[in-house]
Amino acid sequence: MINITVGYVAGFIAAAAFVVRLWIPTILTFILSGVLQDKNTAATWSVAGRALQQSYWPLILRSDTTQNHGVRTKVVIITTLITLMSIVIAVAGVVTPLGLYEALVQEDPKEVTFKYLKDSSPFGYGTPPRSDLPFNRKCWPGPCPFSDTIAIATIDSNGDGKYDFPNGYSISVPSVVSDAFSSGVGNDTTISNYFDLQWRRYVTTEDEIYNNGSKYLIGAFRQMSSMVLNNATEPVEGLVVDTVNGGVGLRNHTVPPGFQHGASWSEELLFIEPETVCVDMNVTLDYTVAPGQNISTTIIDLVLTDRGGFVNLNETYPEANLTDTQANPDLWTRAYKAAWMTNAWTMLYLNITNPHNDTTGEHAFSYLNSEIGKTFPLPIYEQATGTYDSLAMDTTFMYHLNMLGSYGIANSSSPADSGPPPNPFDITSSNFSDISVICAGAGGQDFANITNIFVGCGLMRAIPQRQDSGPSIIYESGSRWSQPLYTCATAAKATIKTVDFTYNGTDGLKSLTVQSVKDKVYPTEDSKPIWGVENTGNAYLISNIDSIWGLVSPTWATSPNISTVRQESLYLPGYGASTSGPLPITTQNLPASEFYATAVGGAYQIGDSSIASTDYSGESNMAMWVRWQGLSKSAQTAALIPNLVFTDYAAAAVVGTKGVLGPGNTADRNLVNIQVTPTVQRIRYHYPFAIPAFIVLLGFLLMTAAAIVTLVFGDSGVAKMRRHLRQSATGRVLTTFLCPEESVLELKEKEWSKRFGKLEIDMSGECPNVGQQVSETRKEASVSEYERESSRERGTENAKFLGGR
């Protein structure tokens, strides 16, 4: 569809004016011809002749003035140029305005004061005001680092130790800790730090043992509005939410007011984002949709198909490189190791191969009862019916085998439903229980430090793909489906990104648009940020403490109580082996150490055993089901699913409190020097439409130059022009020949008009004849009969002369 610009409107108006300018004079000269008589005064003939000859009627009727036979060549050329230039000028008058258009352009950057912008979405009105209660932490069963809590450790007769706190337990975060992990950035930057992140929703509680029974704050999770399918980068209250790649940026939203057409600027923000790697297990669950409604399950013929995961299993036990997890978390090897272990235990469970036997000395993998495409029937238990058409995440790595034998087998005639596999090596769910911890790389009994990073692992039973012809999203009776199986490992990292914003001020926070999000570029190694994690000297286990992390200054980087790395991002500490999804309430107010773990936990609790308030399996949301089906086609794209679910949980769990106006946006003016580029409306032009105008300009310059040359070096002049005008005026030419004794051509215009303007000339015959002179100057003069007769005779002779007789 053509976009109607102001130039097009101007062009249409010019075209309409051009047509009217042609039409009206043409019609008026037609009317003039109708009222013009054959007998008129000489002045009438001059005026009427000018109008008639200047009209388009000579061209239409191909009259004498359009005939070039006998005309001097120079005159033909010049008159032709006059016609052509008139046409070009007319075209230019219509075409030239078409190039005009209005555009929004950017002016020079300027510094303006920002103001806080409230979010009117569910994230806005679902976020309570910020509390003045401070952060707090618990490192149970002992006191936290640098705490002033007095603890008395005792060991009973059974060797079990415990702590007593005679003065109570302080949950306050010591200033030395908050100062250290706030030192990396100041209020003169938009980059947030550890203590700029808060729980979105919170409650207050009190316990007589904590802080002398005073009130303290803890987190309280409730889902907001799901953003998981938005596939966009959007601002919500306190965050920039990226549902394209996954992650949340911390920003308390402020905008530059007062720009009618908006403005643009850039900020550097702290992002917390998931990083997931999935590995194809090369085995699939395959089944047929049950034909009919008299069967208790929706599927039959459930089998596990070897796509290379069994027959091509590498007999060497894989080992991840965990020597420097901050430089390389080696997520792929972790996920691959989980796939290897799952397939290895499954092969034993299905008697595809054998384990090592210490008694007989038989080596593992001594035989292999599988090949590409071979299927292994699986039982279909009643509690699992109806779950195969959706996504499931399993941190036990064995639900897909239906090993829960305490449930009844579904009533089906399918051979695959005859019962569990033989299981000659007595493989149970406990054999799979270590896979999550091994994939994570650390457990609750490992030390809390910068090396033991948080990694959550699980098995993804992806959305099934249809194997026969037919609609890919319709479960038709008798259709065949295949469900890929992937193992995934997810870490969380903090990083700094450059975010480009635009704001037009028309619809609140919805008018704040994120144009791009890019990793910050560091010109040198020394310009990279210093990240720190508490160094407790291996005094705390991961299960006892949630380590504090953040950007630290070079001064604090040398502290023995802080482990640091200088790099683009920091993989956050913790362990994910037993992580669950977000809890209704937390036990402490340390969101930057907790939310990412629970968000990953929520991403790995989807489907069969999930109790989440939002269904991320796609079972009750067809749009989500289709989105997940598209991502489930490969392990690489399937890795985005945990990232997006993590992002949805994170967006509901936390907010950033720092903005351009500082922490909490409490300052009256900008604390950060940000250059804003205003967007203004300007008139612009498409130059191809100016080609006719350029031609006119060129003709104007050339003809003006020619006129000057003719004036200077030729015999042109105003006097000559005046003489030619007299010689070409119809009335003057006629009176010149009809009244030769008067020297009519030499008379000045007013004199000629006074003496001959009312001289009637009759053009009705073959030759013009002089009629009665009505000049007022001669009304009182008596003209003799002789003079009158002489005049008639001379008129007759001149008429005969003009007529060629």
Q: 62: left (phi > 0), else alpha (psi -120 to 50), else beta?
A: left
CA distance 494 to 490: 14
- The pLDDT of residue 281 is above 90: yes
Residue-level pLDDT at 270: 98
CA distance 265 to 514: 10
**Residues across the chain:** 805
Residue-level pLDDT at 441: 95
**Two tokens at 613?**
């308030």
- The pLDDT of residue 738 is above 80: no
Residue-level pLDDT at 384: 54
Amino acid in the structure at residue 713? F
Bridge partners of 284? Answer: 305, 484
Q: What are the residue ranges of helices labelled H in 533-690? A: 554-557, 591-603, 622-631, 635-638, 640-653
Residue-level pLDDT at 117: 92
Residue-level pLDDT at 790: 44
- The pLDDT of residue 409 is above 80: no
- The pLDDT of residue 801 is above 50: no
**Could you give the maximum distance between any two Cα atoms of the chain, in Å?**
165
Bridge partners of 240? Answer: 235, 249
- The pLDDT of residue 81 is above 50: yes
541-580 confidence digits (pLDDT tens): 999 999 999 999 999 999 999 999 999 999 999 998 766 7
User: Would you say 338 and 438 are in contact if contact means Cβ atoms under 8 Å apart?
Assistant: yes
Averaged over 452-465, what is the pLDDT? 97
Residue-level pLDDT at 90: 86
- The pLDDT of residue 317 is above 70: yes
For residue 87, name the pLDDT band (cuts at 50, 70, 90): confident
User: Would you say 437 and 543 are in contact if contact means Cβ atoms under 8 Å apart?
Assistant: no
For residue 418, name the pLDDT band (cuts at 50, 70, 90): low
600 closest CA partner among 651, 567, 642, 543: 642
For residue 611, name the pLDDT band (cuts at 50, 70, 90): low
For residue 778, name the pLDDT band (cuts at 50, 70, 90): very low
- The pLDDT of residue 805 is above 50: no
Residue-level pLDDT at 75: 81
User: Would you say 512 and 501 are in contact if contact means Cβ atoms under 8 Å apart?
Assistant: yes
165-201 confidence digits (pLDDT tens): 999 999 999 999 999 999 999 999 999 999 999 999 9
Residue-level pLDDT at 297: 55
- The pLDDT of residue 298 is above 70: yes
Average pLDDT of the residues of the chain: 87
263-278 confidence digits (pLDDT tens): 999 999 999 999 999 9
- The pLDDT of residue 783 is above 70: no
In the sheet that 39-41 helps form, which strands lie side by side, from edge to edge?
39-41, 759-762, 769-773
Query: Does a cis peptide bond (omega within 30 degrees of 0) precede residue 122?
Result: no
Residue-level pLDDT at 456: 97
- The pLDDT of residue 739 is above 60: yes
Half-sphere exposure of 670 (CA within 13 A, CB side): 18
How many other C-beta atoms can be found within 10 angstroms of the C-beta atom of residue 731?
Answer: 25
pLDDT > 90 in the chain, percent: 58
pTM: 0.80
Beta strands in 588-736, from DSSP E residues, in sequence order: 654-656, 658-659, 662-663, 675-685
- The pLDDT of residue 590 is above 50: yes
492-533 confidence digits (pLDDT tens): 999 999 999 999 887 889 999 999 999 999 999 999 999 999
Residue-level pLDDT at 578: 66
User: Would you say 199 and 588 are in contact if contact means Cβ atoms under 8 Å apart?
Assistant: no
pLDDT > 70 in the chain, percent: 91
Residue-level pLDDT at 354: 96
For 76-103, the DSSP string reads HHHHHHHHHHHHHHHHHHHHGGGGEEEE
Q: What are phi and psi of 627, to 5 degrees?
A: -60, -45
Residue-level pLDDT at 787: 43
Amino acid in the structure at residue 494? A
Residue-level pLDDT at 382: 59
Residue-level pLDDT at 80: 83
User: Would you say 548 and 534 are in contact if contact means Cβ atoms under 8 Å apart?
Assistant: yes
For residue 344, name the pLDDT band (cuts at 50, 70, 90): very high
Pairing of strands 769-773, 115-116: unpaired
- The pLDDT of residue 66 is above 50: yes
Beta strands in 42-126, from DSSP E residues, in sequence order: 100-106, 110-111, 115-116
Of 439-443, 589-593, 757-761, the one with minimum mean pLDDT is: 757-761
Buried b (16+ CB within 10 A) or exposed e, 747-766: beeeebbebbbbbbbbbeee
